[in-house]
Amino acid sequence: MAAVARAGRAGIMAHLVAGFRSMDESRALACGLAENGADVLEIQIPFSDPTADGPVITAACTVAIAAGATPRASLALAGEVIRAAGAPVFLMSYYNILFRWPGGPSAFFAEAAALGVAGLIVPDLPPDEDAEHYFDGCRAAGLHPVLVVSPNIPDARLAELAPYASGLVYTTARVGTTGAESQVRDAAFIEYMGRLRKAFGAVPIAVGFGIRSRAQVEALAGLADLAVVGTHLLSTLAEKGRDAACAELARAAGR
């Protein structure tokens, strides 16, 4: 995947939960976000125990599941968005969904690749526990298996993970779950991003967890390729509707 950083700011990856508040809403939201500055879209398959996510995304998953959103419907949504929005789409899921997919993970990879999905973000499967050969299976299908790392990772672990990096590396801006605003220009974070660049070379880096403002997106210029805006968009969607969420994305993009 080519880097998508912009002059004076990082590119933007917009995160949404499939089926929140409906599949039709998600489809329209994804297209609206792409029109308002999202360079990449991250579509989360709703899950009943989203352990990396804070209360806003967890609540969105709960609402989506209650409204009938299924993994298969979420995958179909990704295909529709790819055709309509014209932006690269990464699917975010917890591994149990892939493990339980009819035909297993390899069948999921094949279906996702056929739809044009760029890659998968699976935060609860480190390479050490890859008994089902997830990383190899993704690559064989033409998908990027995105590594997920956080600022407390030691250099030795980064060296172990570097051979698995493909297409994109997703780092959290802090340790914890999604939601609270993060500082992205303090000395510790800048030093951490330098360690990631050293470990992963030219592989694009996306920074998520607590990114919500134009100031943060601009502060990531030169440090990261993508700023992931998620919780703030979903919170705005829940409180004010789709148009307001798209407007917030446009503000973060400096439009």
End-to-end C-alpha distance for the chain, whole angstroms: 24
160 flagged as catalytic: no
Q: How far, in Å, CA of 234 to CA of 242, rounded?
A: 9
| Catalytic residue flag (residue 42) | yes
Q: From CA 180, how far away is CA 207, in angstroms rounded?
A: 14
Active-site choice (42, 111, 225, 248): 42
Catalytic, out of 24, 25, 39, 53: 53
Query: Which of the residues are catalytic?
Result: 42, 53
